[in-house]
Amino acid sequence: MANLNGALIGCGFFAVNQMHAWGDIEDASITAICDRDPERLRIVGDQFGVARRYTDAAAMLSAEKLDFVDIATTVGSHRPLVELAASHRVPVICQKPFAPTLADAKAMVTACADAGVPLMVHENFRWQSPIQAVRAVLDSGEIGTPFFGRISFRSGYDVFSGQPYLATGKRFIIEDLGIHILDIARFLLGDVSSLTARTARINPAIAGEDVATMLMDHQSGATSVVDCSYATKLAVEPFPETLVEIDGNDGTIRLAQGYRLTVTGRNGTTVRDVSPPLLPWASRPWHNIQESVLAIQKHWVGCLASGEEPATSGADNLKTFALVEAAYAGAASREPVRIDSLLT
Ligand SMILES: NC(=O)c1ccc[n+]([C@@H]2O[C@H](COP(=O)([O-])OP(=O)(O)OC[C@H]3O[C@@H](n4cnc5c(N)ncnc54)[C@H](O)[C@@H]3O)[C@@H](O)[C@H]2O)c1
């Protein structure tokens, strides 16, 4: 396959992981970078040896001949940047959260569809190898048909020192973290028909909610609970592990802290260590997320080569984003929210 020529927009905290991962992918290179902050541009450009640097994305799109752009800015700039890429007919990856509102996200999907360019949301959590291991057990039929799931992320980790903007937004845990866990619920149990939510703010120093509990009806008939907290102080800090419990009519799956996967099913009980590998550039405890960044970026390159729609395409991610909107609406009204009414 020809080497794809990509550009990164946004050289902040998380983009460094994306740059490391691009360095591990033979068929793609980042040949230009953009950040409106010259200091971030210098740091990332020097670290990864990228000479072509821009402080303005429109200038970069006009000057460079690109096979894709990778947008790693925070949410407020996602819609204008995706629309800019679409106007240049350049395939585009956009970090999560996809957009500030579902209406913006729908407009972004339409812009890329009209331009005929692929759009993938960098929704990487489902690409974590422990989550892929759970999916493989479901696919094997070992536990039969799932009727219940609990997808849980509870932590007391200080995410605010690396990402200070997380402390200031009116929306916090559902928009930033819950979005990943809701996507995992969809990945494992299928699309959702209705959602009930409750939220709380335990940490008085932040503006948004740091606890969220969501009860979902899946179209398959399964019920799930997605629970997230950044206010949970445990003896052994699990960040950033997502724990999974799934019950099926023939057995159970438990992905427990420490990446221990226990499957009880048609062939008895097995216990496996499904710890993610520690990539050479990764650091604990982030290595689980860092490995998934490499996996999703490899998936993108494969999709560009084959013409296949990415698993977390913009169109797919509307169905995850609708759960975020439903959770905020449902927490405010204390009523269940129907998902199909948000997607029409
Ligand atoms: N998928 C994951 O696992 C994961 C983890 C952490 C963060 N994120 C997401 O990554 C995104 C970035 O987060 P971060 O913590 O790196 O933020 P950050 O603030 O550290 O970095 C964002 C960078 O984008 C630049 N920028 C903003 N608007 C721009 C524009 N219009 N043109 C050019 N540059 C612009 C800023 O100057 C900054 O350097 C967020 O959407 C966040 O939710 C994802």
- Ligand 1: which residue has its CA nearest to atom 33? 35
- Measured from the Cα of 57, ligand 1's closest atom is 32
302-313 pLDDT, tens digit per residue, is 999 999 999 999
Q: Whose CA is nearest to atom 18 of ligand 1?
A: 12
Residue 253: its pLDDT value, please? 99
CA distance 26 to 43: 23
Distance 15 CA to ligand 1 centre (A): 7
Residue nearest to atom 42 of ligand 1 (CA): 74
CATH of domain 4-117: 3.40.50.720
Please name the amino acid found at residue 218.
Answer: H
Closest Cα to atom 31 of ligand 1: 77
Q: Which residue from 9, 19, 35 has its CB within 8 A of the most atoms of ligand 1, so it is best to mutate?
A: 35
pLDDT at 2: 58
Read off the pTM: 0.98
- Indicate the CATH number of 126-284+319-343 among 3.30.360.10, 3.40.50.300, 3.90.1150.10, 2.60.40.420: 3.30.360.10
Domain spans of the chain, in order of start: 4-117, 126-284+319-343
Whole-number Å distance, alpha carbon 211 to ligand 1 midpoint, is 23
Report the atom number in ligand 1 closest to the C-alpha of 12.
21
Would you state the pLDDT for residue 157?
98
Decide: 36 and 12 in contact? Cβ < 8 Å: no
Query: Which of the listed residues 71, 95, 173, 179 should we mutate to test ligand 1's pocket, taking the one with most ligand atoms within 8 A of CB?
Result: 95
Which of 74, 94, 122 is the best mutation target for the ligand 1 pocket, counting ligand atoms within 8 Å of the beta carbon and taking the most?
74
Q: What's the 244 CA to ligand 1 centre distance in angstroms? A: 28
> 36-45 long-range contacts, Cβ below 8 Å, gap at least 24?
37/11, 40/11, 40/12, 41/11, 43/11, 44/8, 44/11, 44/15, 44/16, 44/19, 45/11
Q: Determine contact, residues 119/230, Cβ cutoff 8 Å.
A: no
CA of 261 to the centre of ligand 1 (A): 33
pLDDT profile of the chain (344 residues), mean per 10: 89 98 98 98 98 98 98 98 99 98 98 98 98 98 98 98 97 98 99 98 98 99 99 98 99 98 98 98 97 98 98 98 98 98 94
User: Ligand 1 pocket: which residues have CB below 6 Å?
Assistant: 9-15, 34-37, 40, 57, 72-75, 77, 81, 95-96, 122, 124, 163, 165, 176, 289
Q: What residues form DSSP beta bridges with 243?
A: 152
Contacts of 205 by beta carbon, 8 Å cutoff, 6+ apart: 167
Residue 343 Cα to ligand 1 midpoint, Å, equals 27
Distance 75 CA to ligand 1 centre (A): 8
Cβ distance 129 to 274 under 8 Å?
yes
The residue whose C-alpha atom lies closest to atom 11 belonging to ligand 1 is 74
